[in-house]
Amino acid sequence: MTSRAWPDLSALELMVSISEHGSLGAGARAVQMAQPNASRVVARLERDIGVPLLQRSPRGSTLTPRGAVIVDWARTVLTAAEDMLVGVDALRHEGSATLTVAASMTIAEYLLPAWLAEFRGRQPETQVALDVVNSAHVIEGVRAGTHRVGFIESSEPPRDLHHAQVGTDHLVVVVPPSHPWAGRKEPLTAQDLGDAALVLREHGSGTRTALESTLSAALGPGHDQATALSLSSNAAVSTAVRAGGGPGVLSHYAVAGSVERGDLCQVSVSGLDLTRRLHALWNGPRRLDGSAGQLVNLARRAPRPPPA
């Protein structure tokens, strides 16, 4: 048995956060640690293991190549520790339990079923009560304690809730084959999209919020997007676009099948980053344990399915 001390799990958690957020400062904020304290934690870990973990410069601190390797190993250690905590929590509670979950539309339709199937295999005694609502209502439910954990399609989760990234998504512009954009040779610009009356999801949906935020950043905060139709589901938007209601913007998961069949045409866009991050949200203690913690861990580790 090695005589070296075990690494501090909170230090490993900080290193993983630095990797996910791109810098020491951002990683420290994500785990709610003051940056001076985070610097000391990393320095102590470097001394303990004898490996330089960060490249420090006036512009910030990022992982060294060796640090990146350590982070990969750290993920495995943290996953094992989290699984142990989930098991301990299950031993503390006898009988069946119910996990309340809220998820926004795209996640609920295309990602959550696989996560829940694996979760069911690991915790067959736990019942899951799922509400499918838009991102704004997910946030409200988690804040109010109605839902133990929520999943939203937003790159900017609310700061008053704990969160973890569970994947990425890409928004795409689609039109019917008869639309003038279907045969367009040049990509759309931000201004082209901003000037068009679009078929969109309702206010409060992660899809609409992400699009409006991206267009406002490109065209200015005073931009007011014209809307041909505002609908409450991905299927309704897709149907309205096919019927000639106007160009639509949806997750690539939601339209891939229609594009492949030729019912819709995807139109390329330049000068806009339509990628968004998908997040799990929860309230209360920063470390999420129990069945909720296991579901979030499964979501973070799950392979990303191809678009439907």
Q: b/e string for 111-147 if b means 16 or more Cβ within 10 A?
A: bbeebbeebeeebeebeeeeebbbbbbbbbbbeeeeb
HSE-CB of 89 using CA atoms within 13 angstroms: 18
Q: Look at residue 260 in the predicted model and tell me its pLDDT.
A: 92
22 lies in a domain? yes
3 lies in a domain? no
What span, in angstroms and rounded, lies between the C-alpha atoms of 17 and 28?
Answer: 7
Q: Kindly state whether residues 83 and 52 are assigned to the same domain.
A: yes
Q: CA torsion, points 156, 108, 298, 286, in degrees to nearest 10?
A: 40
Do β-strands 275-282 and 149-153 pair in parallel, antiparallel, or remain unpaired?
antiparallel
Q: Kindly state whether residues 131 and 40 are assigned to the same domain.
A: no
Provide the pLDDT confidence category of residue 122 given band limits of 50, 70 and 90: confident
Asked if residues 245 and 229 have their Cβ atoms less than 8 Å apart, the reply is yes
Closest CA to 108 of 298, 278, 293: 278
Alpha-carbon torsion (151, 152, 156, 158), positive or negative: negative
Most confident range (mean pLDDT) of 7-11, 55-59, 95-99, 195-199 is: 195-199
pLDDT tens across 192-216, in order? 999 999 999 988 888 998 999 999 9
| Residue 59 structure tokens | 């512009």
Final residue before a domain boundary, out of 39, 55, 88: 88
State the total domains in the chain: 3
Percent of the chain whose pLDDT exceeds 70 = 94
Q: Give phi and psi for 192, each to the nearest 5.
A: -55, -45
Q: Kindly state whether residues 226 and 210 are assigned to the same domain.
A: yes
Q: Look at residue 91 in the predicted model and tell me its pLDDT.
A: 57
Q: Kindly state whether residues 232 and 296 are assigned to the same domain.
A: no
pLDDT average, residue stretch 81-98: 65
pTM above 0.75, yes or no: no
Final residue before a domain boundary, out of 31, 62, 88: 88
Closest CA to 86 of 287, 232, 294, 297: 294
pLDDT tens across 260-275, in order? 999 999 999 999 999 9
Task: Determine the straight-line distance between the first and last CA of the chain, rounded to whole angstroms.
Answer: 49
* Cβ contacts of 140 within 8 Å, gap of 6 or more: 146
Mean pLDDT of the chain: 87
Range of the structural domain that residue 110 is part of? 96-167+277-301
Higher-pLDDT residue of 116, 285: 116
Q: Kindly state whether residues 40 and 107 are assigned to the same domain.
A: no
pLDDT tens across 213-247, in order? 999 999 988 888 889 999 988 999 999 999 999 99
4 lies in a domain? no
Do β-strands 198-201 and 227-231 pair in parallel, antiparallel, or remain unpaired?
parallel
Q: Kindly state whether residues 180 and 254 are assigned to the same domain.
A: yes
Strand partners for 64: none
pLDDT tens across 132-161, in order? 998 999 999 999 999 999 999 887 889 899
